[in-house]
Structure 1
Amino acid sequence: MILLQVNQLTKYFAAEMILSNIKFEIQTNDRVALVGRNGAGKSTLLKIIAGQSSYDSGEIIKPKGVSIGYLAQNTGLESEKSIWDEMLTVFDHLRKMEKELRSLEEKMADPTVFSDSPKYDKVLKEYDHLQVKFKDEGGYQYEADIRSVLHGLHFGSFDHDTKISTLSGGQKTRLALGKLLLTRPDILILDEPTNHLDIDTLSWLEGYLQGYSGAILIVSHDRYFLDKVVNQVYELSRRKMTKFVGNYSSYLDQKAENYEREMKLFEKQQDEISKLEDFVQRNLARASTTKRAQSRRKQLQKMDRLDRPSGDEKSASFSFEIERQSGNDVLKADSIAVGYGSDSVSEQINFRISRGDSIALVGPNGVGKSTLLKTIVNKLPALAGSIHHGSNVSIGYYDQQQAELNSNKKVLNELWDEYPLKPEKEIRTVLGNFLFSGDDVLKIVSSLSGGEKARLALAKLMMEKANFLILDEPTNHLDLDSKEVLENALIDYPGTILFVSHDRYFINRIATKVFELESTGLTEYLGDYDYFIEKKLEQEELETLNAQLAPQQKVETVASDKKGYQQDKEAKKLERQRKRRIEEIESSIEGLETKAAELEELLCDPEIFQDHQRVGELNEQLEKTKHEIEQLMDEWAELAE
């Protein structure tokens, strides 16, 4: 059943067109992701569909009775009620039915009604009808549903009489999500629902949405989440919409295949056009060939010319370098406690960080991950214990709140004032690499969007050339393409990294270790996120068995695990290098093949053919190019085995 149709929808902000002739539909049980760059109009489109924003032309068709539930970005639940009472408001209609059932039960127990058969039968029939309706609509399980959702969103340990007005912004956002999930609309529209959710809550939400009975339309920058939940992807790019069937990874593969196929068709047609135009130019004036030339010209005029495939929009381009290398020991923490004032949130934290480590710091919200990072960079004092920095360690810190980027300076001056000896051209080039071009560099910093502030903060971080990067949620506010650019820059970074992130895809690509922070200490896992989850499951499954093992056996198990990890780590590093080299070779071969084709075309030119010296030079270049292609093909074949 079609739940929603959008036809030829267009939206302007003042004179600027945001959306153009948008067309798509949502059917029952569809799981749809809406993807695109920051500023492409994704949130605007969601608001239009939800009826919270107008549009200029087109139509939105929705069958009568189809309900839509919408959660905007960072929407907090504002209420003076308690957590439980606010969740109960979703089921007011069931509670009303419940009261009616109790009233009918009282009537049936009334002796005067019981003795009056017609009246009793009427009440009994009404009661049976209402009871069936009450059961079908979930009347006997709504309290269990509330408890399940609150537990999944980490409110299980909360006193449900807690006033919502006393909660933090992130907690209010989670409650708004929970309330919307309990309403179970036919079409559930979620704009960045993964914000403010820790990894455990994300996993719960994935499972909940996989079993959701209605249709889902999601905007999210969490690739792991999209792969688990969606079965369709609509890409919004250059104000146009394109549909792809499958999850996010499938969308990336299809997009790359489509671009390659369209480019080949375009190049083939361009080659054909070039040959036809050349034939017309050479033969139109000759009496013997003029008819054939005129025929080719008509063929050119009738040809439906393909546009060059647009490919991806411009991406940020940057890399992190270091001024000088640190010593082997970068950081050591001995029995530290972290928190605010005299209240600690985590204590007995011990760890050691060595040069070249790339460490993900994970744990539930509120356990003190950001607090620990601020303590390491001396923005907060340690409440107990000590932190020792290694020799030649220089720290670059990225704050998830971007607290230091609220000035009234222009973007250009925000960066230039910190590096006044750099020429303006170099500062503008750096900003251009982070997509601040033209008049963008004259924007006021405090007026920037979240994504723009994130890119500016990364630009400042890049300029520091620190050898130890401490990053607190670096992927927040970045679109999917910018995340990938950041990942590649960090993979190639020659220094040490400690980062907090809820993006599991990002952790898998970057981390070589995982630190799990709890209120009573920190546990180190040697591997990426998938390895960490695997080990956690093993620990849960073997907890009883391990208690029965002899101490010697346990030590041998740990030693074996570390040895296996080191081998696995080295294998993954080599695999990343292999894939990167294959991509470089394929790009080089493509360029060389284009060059060879151009040389062969020149050799076929009659004018050049008469110039023996020029022919010799071109043949020499062609042979050299073909030899380079052969060498690269041999290397490619060896790496691809």
Structure 2
Amino acid sequence: MILLQVQNVERLFGSDVLFERVNLDVQENSRIALVGRNGVGKSTLIKMIVGLQSPDNGQITKNKNMTIGYLAQDNGLNSSNSIYAEMLTVFNDLKKMEIKMHELENEIATFDHLTQSQTKYDTLLSSYDQLTHNFKEANGYGYESEIRAVLHGFRFYEEDFSTIIGTLSGGQKTRLALAKLLLEKNDLLILDEPTNHLDIETLSWLEGYLQSYSGALLIISHDRYFLDKISKEVYELTSSGTDHYQGNYSFYIQEKAKRFQQKMKQYEKQQEEIEKLEDFVARNIVRASTTKRAQSRRKQLEKINRLERPTDGQQEPHFQFTAERQSGNIVLSVANAFIGHDDKPISGPINIDLRKHQMMAIVGSNGIGKSTLLKSILNKIPLISGEYSFGTNVDTGYYDQELKNLHANKTVLNELWDDHPTTPEKDIRSILGSFLFSGDDVKKVVHNLSGGEKARLLLTKLAFNHDNFLIFDEPTNHLDIDSKEVLEEALLNYNGTVLFISHDRYFINKVATSVLEISKNGSQLYLGDYDYYVDKKEEQLLLAQEENKQTGEIVSKQPEKNSYQLTKEQQRQERKLRREVEDIENQLEQLNAKEEEIQNQMTLPEVYSNLQKSTELQESLKKTQDKISDLEDSWEEKSMELEKFD
């Protein structure tokens, strides 16, 4: 059933068009990612859907009884209630039912059979039975456990429940706003950048929760790993409309590239045809014997609906990092380091042995000291104990997540030129242009720049310094998806060494050659990308559980405040099964598309009249259908296993 339809919607600013011809369908249980460049109007479209704004043209129709939950960007929960009391307000109807149940219980218990009729008694019993049934169906006996589970997922525990919401930080209020929306169980949940303020562990929990969410989801996010896990279809918003893709984010990237190639082939084919016609007309229009044919060709040219050269119509930064000189093989050594503030350790001992050309990601929960570690290495915060040293010829560049390495009152041009005063202005402008600062943009004052512009300016400074060791603290925080991809390519082609902190798991997977996990007990190195790190963590947990069984020891792997969760072993099995099911679904989507393409080819006259070509396609079709059949059997088997966890 369709919950919502967006039909030919436009947003205009005077005579300027922000977007037009926007179409989008939301079905029951849809899992939609809405993607597009920064500034294209994704949040504006969402506000139209929820009714906060009206489209200039087109219409948005909704199912009459549908409920919508909406989380705007960094929109925190404002309330004078305590955390737990505010979450309880979601279940006010259940509380009223509970009160009514107790009233009926008292009436039944005190019913006077001598003075009152049996019919009235039967009515009371019937009302009570119906009410208790409805109460049970609405999870009346489990909603308080549900509240605790969701709050625990967002890192709020029993000792936090009495805290007044108004005293919390902006990030905590945003997490609570999302927690309350999840508890409301709306038919359609719309989330605009829900992963802000969440660490990796909380993100993983949220992904698991949303995968089993009973309603439909419409999500804007720059977290590509998150979109890969949650989305089943993608709508890309551009100024000229929406393009729809049936698959997750990775499928969208692949399919978009295929569509672009197809459009380019069609364009090039038409250009060849036009060129031939124009050449014939030019050579034959003045010759008496061929004038009529030339005129005919000219009419053909006039009738051609000319295709525009395929392009996304948007600029993206293009840059590279290069090291001016090579460092020694050992780039950074950290030995038995304890980090913290005011002589109070947060984490330790930490050990790092970083070699030339390696790219190491640092991960860990919020507040564990990841940024503190980088600042200690850079001698901005002293180590509590331990030591560190850089290798031979190491030149260090640093990207600060708070962007404090920029001067608020300088212009964009002077921010770079003052560091390199002997460089000609045209060269400074040239590199700024490659980071999308062109024309009058270079005269902007730094404090007037957006977060994304400041991030690009800091990356410009790093690229211009040609250091051989780059240290990044959350480099993707302020970047849109396209800029992230450009940064990834620049780092993958970099001839130096990289140490970085990131919550962007897609970015870690693409760039990292190793992952260093920081915890209160110190550091643990994993020699692979993010997925390798997750798999190894699960293997370690399994091994520890097996050892505990053999020795008969009872070791709690989670503090009591996490006892609401499934066991880690169950979580690992469920996560693995979900990954396998998603992978099978993605393969099936691609194979179904291939099957349809082959069947379409077989209907072409030039194919079915060609025995050899027809036979080849038939064999290819059979192989594809056999694969589909095998994968469907596997999907059914694994889906049945997965149902055990629901």
Structure 1 distance, partners of 2:114, 2:24, is 58
Secondary structure of the residue aligned to 1:339 is strand
Q: Say whether residues 1:58 and 2:54 are aligned partners.
A: no
The one-letter amino acid of 2:186's match is P
Partner of 1:97: 97
1:325 maps to a residue whose letter is Q
Structure 1 residues 525 and 312: alpha-carbon distance in aligned structure 2, compared to 1, 3 A threshold: farther
Matched, 1:399 2:400: yes
Tell me the percent identity.
56
8 Å Cα contact 1:73/1:191 also seen in 2: yes
1:3 match = 3
Partner of 1:463: 464
> Cα deviation per residue 1:233-280 (whole Å; 9 max; x = unaligned)?
111123421111111111111111111111111111111112112222
Q: Residue deviations 1:461-507, cap 9 Å, x none?
A: 21222222111111112111111111111112122211111112211
Q: How many residues align?
A: 550
Residue 121 of structure 1 corresponds to which residue in structure 2?
A: 122
Q: Which residue of 2 aligns with 1:28?
A: 28
SS in 2 for 1:337: strand
- 1:379 and 1:55, CA in 2 relative to 1: closer, same or farther beyond 3 A? farther
| Alpha-carbon separation, structure 2, partners of 1:77 and 1:347 | 35
Matches within 5 A, 1:146-165: 146-156=147-157, 158-165=159-166
Amino acid at match of 2:382: P
Q: Please give the per-residue CA displacement for 1:369-409, whole angstroms capped at 9, x wherever unaligned.
A: 11211222222222232222333322211111223446133
More moved, 338-347 vs 246-255: 338-347
Partner SS for 1:6: strand
* Structure 2 CA distance for aligned equivalents of residues 486 and 122 of structure 1: 70
Q: Give, as a single letter, the amino acid of the residue that structure 2 aligns with 1:391.
A: T
Alignment of 1:188-227 (within 5 A): 188-227=189-228
Please state how far the C-alpha of 1:539 moved relative to its aligned partner: 1.0
Say if 1:329 and 1:355, in contact at 8 Å, map to a contact too. Answer: yes
Q: From the superposition, tell whether residues 305 and 507 of structure 1 become closer, same or farther in structure 2 (CA, over 3 Å).
A: same
**Secondary structure of 1:32's aligned partner:** strand
State the SS of the aligned residue for 1:305. Answer: coil
2:355 is aligned with 1:365: no
The equivalent residue for 1:234 is 235
Instruction: Report matched runs for 1:180-579 at 5 Å.
Output: 180-311=181-312, 313-405=314-406, 407-544=408-545
Whole-angstrom CA distance in 2 between matches of 1:59 and 1:181: 28
CA distance in 1 between partners of 2:13 and 2:347 (Å)? 48
Change (3 A) 1:164 1:406: farther
CA change 1:46–1:544 in 2 (3 A) is closer
Q: 2:640 maps to what in 1?
A: none
- Aligned residue identity for 1:22: V
TM value normalised by structure 2: 0.81
Is the Cα contact below 8 Å between 2:19 and 2:238 reproduced in 1? no
> Separation in 2 of the partners of 1:249 and 1:454?
25
Q: Does 1:142 align with 2:143?
A: yes
The worse-fitting range, judged by mean Cα deviation, of 157-166 and 69-78 is 157-166
Contact 1:41 1:239 survives alignment (8 Å): no
Distance 1:90 1:261 in 2: 50
Task: Say if 1:249 and 1:122 are closer, same or farther in 2 by CA, change over 3 A.
Answer: same
Is 1:73 aligned to residue 65 of structure 2?
Answer: no
Q: CA deviation at 1:324?
A: 2.5
Q: Are the aligned partners of 1:40 and 1:239 in contact in 2 as well (CA < 8 Å)? A: no
Structure 2 contact 221–227 (Cα < 8 Å) conserved: yes
Shift of 1:318: 0.9
Partner residue in 2 for 1:45: 45
Cα separation, partners in 2 of 1:129 and 1:221, compared to 1, 3 Å? same
- Supply the distance in 1 between the matched residues of 2:545 and 2:29 (Cα, whole angstroms): 41
- Which residue does 1:562 correspond to in 2? none
Classify the secondary structure of the residue corresponding to 1:379: coil
* Rounded Cα–Cα distance in structure 2 between residues aligned with 1:167 and 1:379: 29
C-alpha displacement of 1:181: 1.0
CA–CA distance in 2 between the matches of 1:384 and 1:222? Answer: 36
- The answer for the alignment partner of 2:88 in structure 1 is 88
After TM superposition, give the deviation of residue 519 of structure 1 in Å.
0.7
In structure 2, the partner of 1:567 is none
The one-letter code sitting in structure 1 at the alignment partner of 2:521 is: T
Name the amino acid aligned to 2:376: T
CA distance in 1, matches of 2:534, 2:494: 26
The DSSP-based 3-state class of the residue aligned with 1:73 is: coil
Work out the CA distance in 1 between the residues paired with 2:120 and 2:505.
63
Q: C-alpha displacement at 1:62, in angstroms?
A: 0.7
Q: Determine the C-alpha separation between the residues in 2 that align with 1:329 and 1:539.
A: 29
CA RMSD of aligned residues (A): 2.2
Q: Is the 8 A contact 2:322 2:494 kept in 1?
A: yes
Structure 2: 5+ residue runs without aligned partners?
Answer: 551-646
The amino acid that maps onto 2:380 is K
- Shift of residue 342 of structure 1? 3.8
Aligned residues of 1:38 and 1:451 also touching (Cα < 8 A):
no
The verdict on how the C-alpha distance between 1:68 and 1:547 changes in structure 2, with shifts beyond 3 A counting, is: closer
Residues 209 and 229 of structure 1 are in contact (CA less than 8 Å); yes or no, is this contact kept in structure 2? yes
CA contact (8 A) 2:111 2:121 kept: no
CA distance in 2, matches of 1:465, 1:477: 23
Rounded Cα–Cα distance in structure 2 between residues aligned with 1:390 and 1:547: 42
The CA deviation at 1:122 is 3.1
**Partner Cα distance (2:446, 2:243) in 1:** 34
Residue pair 2:69, 2:189 contacting (<8 A) in 1 also: yes
Cα-to-partner distance string for 1:134-179 (whole Å, 9 max, x where unaligned)? 2232222211211221222222475322333343332222222111
Give the letter aligned to residue 346 of structure 1.
S
Give distance in 1, aligned partners of 2:380 and 2:52.
41
Aligned-pair distance for 1:311? 4.2
SS at match of 1:471: strand
After TM superposition, the structure 1 = structure 2 runs for residues 583-598 of structure 1, keeping only pairs within 5 Å, are: none
3-state DSSP of counterpart to 2:93: helix
Within 2, Cα distance between the matches of 1:74 and 1:406? 26
Q: Aligned partners of 2:345 and 2:12: how far apart in 1?
A: 51
The CA deviation at 1:440 is: 2.0
Whichever residue aligns with residue 423 of structure 2, its letter is K
The answer to which of 80-89 and 482-491 deviates more is: 80-89
Tell me: CA distance 1:456–1:514, structure 2 relative to 1, closer, same or farther (3 Å).
Answer: same
Contact 1:336 1:383 in 2 (8 A): yes
Deviations 1:341-390 (A, max 9, x none): 34332132222222222111111112111121122222222223222233
Shift in Å, 1:544:
4.9
3-state SS in 1 of match to 2:298: helix
Which position in structure 2 is the counterpart of 1:178? 179
Distance 1:45 1:25 in 2: 13
CA distance in 2, matches of 1:541, 1:102: 47
**More displaced stretch, 334-343 vs 256-265:** 334-343
Partner of 2:107: 107
Q: Which moved more, 1:153-162 or 1:376-385?
A: 153-162
Residue aligned with 1:111, SS: coil
Residues 407, 415 of structure 2: 8 Å contact kept: no
Retained in 2: the 8 A contact 1:508–1:529?
A: yes
Q: Distance in 1 between matches of 2:114 and 2:296?
A: 98
Amino acid aligned to 2:459: L
3-state secondary structure, aligned to 2:160: coil
Letter in 2 for 1:110: T
